[in-house]
Amino acid sequence: MGATFDYWKLTKTVLFYALVLVIVVVSVFPFYYAILTSLKSGTDLFRVTYWPTSISFDNFRQVFSQGAFPRNLLNSVFVASVTVILALFLAVTASFALSRVRFRGRGLLLMTILAVSMFPQIAVLAGLFEVIRFLGIYNTPWALIFAYTIFTLPFTVWVLTTFMRDLPVEIEEAAIVDGATPWVIITQVFMPLMWPALVTTGLLAFIAAWNEFLFALTFTVSNETRTVPVAIALLSGGSQYEIPWGIIMAASVVVTVPLVALVLVFQRKIVSGLTAGGVKG
């Protein structure tokens, strides 16, 4: 096809892939190192190596034998999923109101929502603890789901509001003429057009909930209700001061893999041009 061989284009391609490589290496290297560490044991841990020298899955075996790690994994999955679903549900509807319906005090409301995210988490710990005990959900997954809305909800509401604002008005109007109620507009017209935003906020919130430690530690007191980060913190070596690096790394690898899988599944939805072809202007 191309009559001349385009060196500039080639250079650009090479540079681009080099950049991709750098980004990937920087992102993944510590994780790689964690995998490396998880395959080590004993004094080997203190030795710097770049390639696996000996491979032992002892640490992984340990992870699953200590405490109730599989159970904790399930807890995390449950808590994070429900948190995200709930947050997205509340946020999608709220952001429709905040981005598409004009009413007085909208800016103020947005600021109020944001204000919730301005308080240091440790400072709300005591009060939240009281509320949770009052509601009688202490030491249940619901305590965490409830507590996590404090940081997932403002975030999802703001992000989705921003994205929903940019959707073409004409499409909404067409739906109105077609007799769609706001609920139908949200679920059948807007949500499909906001996949990138939904998936992104969903993923980010999911991971935030998945990785949360402080609340999880405070609001659960049994191995059966605890989540993964707490479980990791509970992994311990033989004695008080000994940090069981190998096991911790193994556990981290174990908890990160599902997230990576999740990203791989959902990132397909982060595609561009969803609104293409709808309107002209």
Partner 1 sequence: MASIELRNIRKSFGAVNVIKGVDLEVRKGEFMVFVGPSGCGKSTLLRLISGLEDITSGEMLFDGKVVNALTPSKRGIAMVFQSYALYPHMTVYENMAFGLKLEKGNSKEAIRERVEKAADMLQIRQYLDRLPKQLSGGQRQRVAIGRAITRDPKVFLFDEPLSNLDAALRVATRIEIAKLHEGMHDVTMIYVTHDQVEAMTLADRICVLRDGLVEQVGTPMELYEKPDSIFVAGFIGSPKMNFLTGEKAEAFKCATLGVRGEHMLVKPDGIWEGEVIHTENLGADTYVYLEMGQEEPIVVRLEGAMQHPSGSKLRVSPMEDRVHRFDEAGKPIR
Partner 2 sequence: MAPVGTAATPKIRSELMLQRVRAARWFLVPMMIALAIVAGWPLTRSIWFSFTDATLNDLYGAEWVGFGNYLRWQVLESGTVRYRGVLADPDWWNAVWNTVRFAFWSVLWETVLGMIVALVLNAEFRGRGIVRAAILIPWAIPTIVSARMWGWMLNDQFGIINDLGMKLGLLSAPVAWTASADTAMTAVLIVDIWKTTPFMALLILAGLQMIPKDIYEAADIDGVHPVKQFFRITLPLVRPALMVAIIFRVLDALRIFDLIYVLTPNSRSTKTMSVLAQENLFQFNNFAEGSTQSTLLFLLIAIFTILYIWIGKVNFEGGDR
Partner 3 sequence: AELSIVSGDTGSGLAFLRSQLDRFEADTGHTVTVVPMPSSTTDQFGQYRLWLAAGNSDIDVYQTDVIWAPQLADQFLDLSEAAADVVGNHFPSIIESQTVDGKLVALPAFTDAPALYYRTDLLEKHGKSVPETWAELETTAMEIMEAERAEGNSEIWGFVFQGNAYEGLTCDALEWVMSNGGGQIVEPDGTISINNDQAAAAIDRAAGWVGTIAPEGVLAYMEEESRGVWQLGNAVFMRNWPYAYALGNGDDSAVKGKFDVAPLPAGDGEGARSAATLGGWNVAVSKYSPDPEAAIELAKFLASEEVQKERAIQQSNLPTIPSLYEDADVLEASPFMENWKAIFEQAVPRPSAPTKTDYNEVSSLFWSAVHDTLSGNGSAAENLEILEADLQDLKGDAW
List residues binding partner 3 (CB under 8 A). Answer: 41-47, 66-67, 125-126, 129-130, 133, 138-139, 217-218, 221-223, 230, 233-244
**Of the two residues 112 and 188, which places its CB atom closer to partner 1 in the complex?**
188
Q: Which of 94, 124, 125, 184 binds partner 1 (CB under 8 A)?
A: 184
**Of the two residues 121 and 236, which places its CB atom closer to partner 2 in the complex?**
121
Query: From the CB of 103, what's the least distance to partner 2, in Å?
Result: 4
What whole-number distance in Å separates Cα of residue 55 and Cα of residue 39?
5
Query: From the CB of 50, what's the least distance to partner 3, in Å?
Result: 17
Q: Is 166 in the site for partner 2 (CB under 8 A)?
A: yes
**Of the two residues 154 and 246, which places its CB atom closer to partner 3 in the complex?**
246
Query: From the CB of 70, what's the least distance to partner 2, in Å?
Result: 17
Sequential DSSP letters for the chain? --SS--HHHHHHHHHHHHHHHHHHHHHHHHHHHHHHHHT--GGGGGS--SS-SS---HHHHHHHHSTTHHHHHHHHHHHHHHHHHHHHHHHHHHHHHHHHS--TTHHHHHHHHHHHTTS-HHHHHHHHHHHHHHHT-TTSHHHHHHHHHHHHHHHHHHHHHHHHHTS-HHHHHHHHHTT--HHHIIIIIIHHHTHHHHHHHHHHHHHHHHH--HHHHHH--STTT--HHHHHHH---SSTT---HHHHHHHHHHHHHHHHHHHHHHGGG--S-TTTTS---
**Of the two residues 4 and 239, which places its CB atom closer to partner 3 in the complex?**
239
Q: Is 214 in the site for partner 2 (CB under 8 A)?
A: yes
Query: From the CB of 172, what's the least distance to partner 1, in Å?
Result: 9
- Residues 186-215, one symbol each (x = binds partner 1 by CB under 8 A, - = not), give --xx--xx----------------------
**Of the two residues 240 and 272, which places its CB atom closer to partner 1 in the complex?**
272
Query: From the CB of 113, what's the least distance to partner 2, in Å?
Result: 7
Residues interacting with partner 1, by CB under 8 A?
1-4, 6, 9, 168-171, 173-180, 184, 188-189, 192-193, 273-281
